[in-house]
Amino acid sequence: MAICNLKAAYCRLLDTKDWEGWRELFTEDCVVDTRPSGGTLEEGRDRFVDMVRQSLSDAKTAHQIHSPQITVEGDSAEVVWAMQDRVVKDEFALTGYGHYHETCVRTAEGWKIARQTLTRLIVEMDGKPA
């Protein structure tokens, strides 16, 4: 339940642009790899959150996650989430379908994301939105 709540908060805080709240969902030394979906490799919570904030601050987004596969071993969990996201900016709009692959760790503050890789199976690009 707590890991599902962590990912639900991830989507809500990202989509509402609550950057400080979103930052707290990650370990300080997190590693986030979006290269498989056309992005970058970011090491460190502050660097990653700042990059996402710069990329999405002027975008409308909607992230949805489904069908978690969770394996917990002690204070660590391997999780795969099916995902769909919608990103709308002035110059484009995209809808993506794929997976988040994550390692979550239990900390004194609760579960946090330590590693994340985003893969996409399908990306639909629209022209400039009306």
- pLDDT category at 4 given cuts 50, 70, 90 is very high
Give the pTM: 0.93
3-state DSSP helix/strand/coil % of the chain, to nearest 5? 25, 55, 20
For the segment 25-39, what is each residue's pLDDT rounded down to a tens digit?
999 999 999 999 889
Residue 7 or residue 91, greater confidence: 7
**Is CATH 3.10.450.50 the classification given to domain 2-126?**
yes
Domain boundaries, the chain: 2-126
Q: How confident is the model at residue 130, as a pLDDT?
A: 42
Torsion on CA atoms 10, 13, 16, 19, rounded to nearest 10: -120
If residue 107 lies in a helix (H) or strand (E), which one and from where to where?
Answer: strand 93-107
